[in-house]
Copies of this chain bind each other. A is one copy, B any other.
Amino acid sequence: MRMHNPPHPGEIIKSLCLEPVGLTVTEAAEGLGVSRKTLSAILNGRSGISPEMAIRLSIAFNTSAESWLSQQVQYDLWHAEQGRKALKVIKLAA
Q: Which residues of B contact A74 (CB under 8 A)?
A: 66
Determine whether A25 belongs to the interface, using a CB cutoff of 8 Å to chain B.
Answer: no
Most buried by B among A17, A65, A93: A93
The A interface, classified by DSSP as helix, strand, loop or mixed, is: helix
Q: Which residues of B contact A23 (CB under 8 A)?
A: 92
User: Given contacts A51-B80, A55-B80, A73-B70, is CB(A60)–CB(B28) below 8 Å?
Assistant: no
Chain A 13-40, CB within 8 Å of chain B: the 1/0 string? Answer: 0000100010100011011110000000
Pick from B51, B59, B62, B88: contact of A77, CB below 8 A: B51
- Assembly CA distance A93 to B60 (angstroms): 6
Determine whether A69 belongs to the interface, using a CB cutoff of 8 Å to chain B.
Answer: yes
What residue in chain B is nearest A23 (Cβ atoms)? B92
- Assembly CA distance A39 to B74 (angstroms): 23
